[in-house]
Amino acid sequence: MISTGVNGLDEMLGSGIPQGSRVLYSLEPGVNGQLFMISTLSCALARGHSCLVIFPNTTVEAYRNDAARMYGARLDLASGPVTFMDAIDRERIDKSARSAEARASEWKARIQKLCRDHQVTVIFAYFDLLYEEFGLETAMEILESAREGTEGRKITLVIEHLNLEGTPLIERFIRDLSFDFVLAIRSSFRPFPQFNYFTLVHASWAQIPVRSLPFIIAEGRIIPYIPRIVVTGPAGSGKSTFVMNAADEGHSIDRGGTDGDSTTVVLDFGWLRWKDFDITMYGTPGHTRFDPLMPPYLRYAMGVIIVVDATKPDQLTRARHLIDMIVKRRIPYVVAANKNDLPGVMSVGEIRNHLGIGEDIPLFPISATRKADVNFVIESLVDSITQFTY
Amino acid sequence: MYTYKSGIAQIDEVSGGFDAATNILILAPPMSLGDQLAYALTKPLPGEYAIVLSTNERAAEVVDAFKLAGADKRFTGVIDAITKSSTPTIVDTPRLMFVSSPTDLTGIGIKFSNMIETIFEGEFSDGEAGLFPPPIRFCVNSISTLLMYRRLEVLYQFLHVLTAKLKKIEGVGVYLLNSESFDEKTLSLIKQLMTCVIEIKVEQNINFLRIRGITGVNGDWMKFQVTRGQVVILP
């Protein structure tokens, strides 16, 4: 497998991209997505793959400089097993061959020679100009020609394309050209100008539903971002403890309750970096008088954790009501049966029966005071978010 | 909604200026005042920002031209598609960004988004006015150069995205195109993306302009000059 260089994405794919695959990173205009291919290139080089990088729109030096600036010192293009074809090669081909057919042949011959001479196993190509000059089929034939005469060596092809035609072009890559992995990198221009996300459109080797996830770029890395996980449940079930224990940074807005304990009155807020996902958590108050706050909390939630007190059967009716709200909005959720370290806890089966949920909904007996338990619940929810079929 | 002063009395007196989300095509022959007019319309007024996508001169030259036109350079950004081919190691700053060449539409799109984001986040310059959305004037100083490197259809699709984004952020766009180098099909396709067209002609060394697409503005040819970034309509 070849790592994409994005840990969160590799998790979704089951550790990366199989060798010999055809990979498309489809970039919408304006989206800051060039780091995807550079990250994959860096990982391929780190694993000792011999790489050919084709970028007809710029020079080797400018590319090296840009890549180093985007990705940092981890990417060493000067000493890795990497060969380049750049804008200068393109100019030479344009000068030496007059017709489009002759130019295509020249491209093929040069790529084949480089692949043969350097035992290339992964090709990275910026596709725009080849596509514009030769059209989709011929441009792909040029790149695919590298596979000829490789004596069984599987060559992986990774292309980055500025997609000005949208979904129809992506469908052609999948349907007509049998691409194995297609990631569409997009941006929303509102409410802030730049809000990047990727959509895992197709992975031929894995049963993964089409899934979109926002991402941020920090420290030269692409980090999938889950902007809202809601933690909810009946009052006193341990939601604040859960959020505070889960978060790298967290705050709870509490005041003294009538029973002498503190109770959440607005929200708990937590931020965490988990397995290369950047996650923001919102804990809701549990009392029914705060229920009008629930729709706005849930509106943009990507997942929900329901925390119930496993020692209090009388709370489960309230939890079931909350689950109804979530199911109606088709949000993936998991249940954390908290206070499992205390005496008098219900069994998992009893809780499932009370809540009316089947085996398909993950339910974990936990203690929210234990970080390991909390992490287990988050891991399960992230899996649900990235693989949930809407 | 914000209105951008054009500095042309015939426009500003009738409509107050260009409405936000207006895209203006300047069709000008070579050796005319087309580029000066484009910069005069892009020059940021107090509280505004300007971004120039330069496909035919270096960022330093664009900044100088704006300075001569009386613009505050702290509010002027340039996406330079020229310098990097000779200086590949050049580094971006918030106000000066570089792409490898005019063929690099991916890079242009990214730098455009980055610069807009920098402005929206208030990190573009000192002394920001705080208007939201920030008024942004955007100029492509030559669509003609882009057309030399990329096919019309591709460029049309790219400009379609760019003009749409500019509309969303309520900016105003000024696009300069050589009126003599391209056929009617090219001109009419590019015009489809625009809300207003300013045509320029030169007769006996005198520049004339004609404005199309702004309600209430006279569509007759008018003599004009550009002096220190100010458009002067001559009698």
**CA–CA distance, A100 with A38 (Å, rounded to integer):** 30
Give the per-residue pLDDT at A191: 46
- Nearest CA of chain B to the CA of A269: how many Å? 23
Cross-chain Cβ contact A164/B154 below 8 Å: yes
pLDDT tens digits, one per residue of A310-338: 999 999 999 999 999 999 988 999 999 99
Cross-chain Cβ contact B109/A30 below 8 Å: yes
Backbone angles phi, psi at A129, to 5 degrees: -75, -35
Going from N- to C-terminal start, the domains of chain A cover 7-219, 226-387
* Chain A residues within an 8 Å CB radius of B100: 57-59, 62-63, 66, 87
Is the pLDDT assigned to residue A270 strictly greater than 50?
yes
Considering only A76-85, A127-136, A270-279, A290-299, which range has the smallest mean pLDDT?
A76-85
Considering only A115-129, A169-183, A259-273, which range has the smallest mean pLDDT?
A259-273
Residue linked to tokens 């996508």: B53
**CA–CA distance, B14 with B24 (Å, rounded to integer):** 17
Q: What percent of chain A has pLDDT over 90?
A: 56
> Which residues, in sequence order, are bridge partners of residue B195?
none
* Chain B residues within an 8 Å CB radius of A34: 106, 110
Q: Computed from CA positions of residues A216, A86, A42, A61, in that sequence, does the dihedral angle turn out positive or negative?
A: negative
Q: Given B88, B106, B110, which is nearest A128 (Cβ)?
A: B106
Residues in chain B: 235
Give the per-residue pLDDT at A264: 63
Q: Is A347 on the interface with B (CB under 8 A)?
A: no
User: Measuring CA to CA, which residue among B61, B63, B58, B88 is closest to residue B75?
Assistant: B63
- Nearest CA of chain A to the CA of B110: how many Å? 4
Best to test chain B binding among A36, A65, A86 (most B CBs inside 10 Å)? A65
Is the pLDDT assigned to residue A192 strictly greater than 60?
no
Cross-chain Cβ contact B154/A132 below 8 Å: yes
pLDDT tens digits, one per residue of B75-89: 999 999 999 988 988
Is the pLDDT assigned to residue A71 strictly greater than 80?
no
Is the pLDDT assigned to residue A59 strictly greater than 50?
yes
Interface of B with A (CB under 8 A): 84-85, 88-89, 91, 100-101, 103-107, 109-110, 112-114, 116-117, 120, 150-151, 154, 157-158, 161-162, 165, 168-169
Q: Given A29, A63, A69, which is nearest B161 (Cβ)?
A: A29
Beta strands of A189-332 (E only): which ranges?
195-203, 211-218, 221-232, 249-256, 262-274, 277-283, 303-309
pLDDT tens digits, one per residue of A1-32: 899 998 888 888 888 999 999 999 999 998 88
Backbone angles phi, psi at B57, to 5 degrees: -150, 160
Cross-chain Cβ contact A194/B113 below 8 Å: yes
Which class would CATH give A7-219?
alpha beta
Cross-chain Cβ contact A189/B157 below 8 Å: no
**What average pLDDT does this structure show over B89-99?**
93
Mean per-residue pLDDT over chain A, rounded: 88
Q: Computed from CA positions of residues A283, A286, A292, A298, in that sequence, does the dihedral angle turn out positive or negative?
A: positive
pLDDT tens digits, one per residue of A116-164: 999 999 999 999 999 999 999 999 999 998 887 677 778 999 999 999 9
Q: Is A34 on the interface with B (CB under 8 A)?
A: yes
Q: Given A66, A69, A187, which is nearest B113 (Cβ)?
A: A187
Cross-chain Cβ contact B158/A61 below 8 Å: no
* Chain B residues within an 8 Å CB radius of A58: 84, 100-101, 104
Continuous H helices in A247-334: 294-299, 316-328
- Nearest CA of chain B to the CA of A58: how many Å? 6
Q: Is A217 on the interface with B (CB under 8 A)?
A: no
Radius of gyration of chain B (CA): 17
Give the per-residue pLDDT at A79: 67
Is the pLDDT assigned to residue A188 strictly greater than 50?
yes
**CA–CA distance, A67 with A89 (Å, rounded to integer):** 20
* Chain B residues within an 8 Å CB radius of A32: 110, 113-114
Q: Given A58, A132, A160, which is nearest B100 (Cβ)?
A: A58
**What average pLDDT does this structure show over B99-121?**
92
Best to test chain A binding among B100, B132, B147 (most A CBs inside 10 Å)? B100
Helix, strand, coil percentages (3-state) for chain B, rounded to 5, are: 35, 25, 40
Position A73 confidence tier, pLDDT thresholds 50, 70, 90: low
Neighbours of A345 (CB within 10 A): 18
Which class would CATH give A226-387?
alpha beta
Cross-chain Cβ contact B101/A165 below 8 Å: no
A188: closest chain B residue by CA: B165
CB contacts < 8 Å between A and B, how many? Answer: 83
Tokens standing for A238? Answer: 């341990």
Q: Give this complex's ipTM.
A: 0.89
Mutual orientation of helices A100-118 and A87-96 as an angle, nearest 10°?
130
Mean per-residue pLDDT over chain B, rounded: 92
Q: Which residue has the higher pLDDT, A251 or A299?
A: A299
* Three-state DSSP class for residue A121: coil
Q: Given A63, A126, A194, which is nearest B117 (Cβ)?
A: A194
Give the per-residue pLDDT at A108: 94
* Chain A residues within an 8 Å CB radius of B88: 59, 61-62, 65
DSSP code of residue A2 = B
Q: What percent of chain B has pLDDT over 90?
A: 76
- For β-strands A181-188 and A22-27, DSSP reports them as parallel
Tokens standing for B46? Answer: 């107090």
Asked if residues B43 and B70 have their Cβ atoms less than 8 Å apart, the reply is yes
- Nearest CA of chain A to the CA of B39: how many Å? 24
Give the per-residue pLDDT at A194: 61
Q: Is A132 on the interface with B (CB under 8 A)?
A: yes
Residue linked to tokens 């705080």: B130
Is the pLDDT assigned to residue A44 strictly greater than 60?
yes
B111: closest chain A residue by CA: A30
Best to test chain A binding among B82, B83, B97, B103 (most A CBs inside 10 Å)? B103
Considering only A247-261, B3-17, B121-135, which range has the smallest mean pLDDT?
A247-261
Cross-chain Cβ contact B150/A69 below 8 Å: no
Q: Is A262 on the interface with B (CB under 8 A)?
A: no
Residue linked to tokens 């809407």: A390
* Chain B residues within an 8 Å CB radius of A191: none
pLDDT tens digits, one per residue of B156-215: 999 999 999 999 899 999 999 998 888 999 999 999 999 999 999 999 999 999 999 988
Best to test chain B binding among A32, A160, A197 (most B CBs inside 10 Å)? A32
- Nearest CA of chain B to the CA of A57: how many Å? 6
Asked if residues B53 and B158 have their Cβ atoms less than 8 Å apart, the reply is no
Q: Domains in chain B, ordered, with CATH?
A: 3-233 (3.40.50.300)
**CA–CA distance, A334 with A269 (Å, rounded to integer):** 19
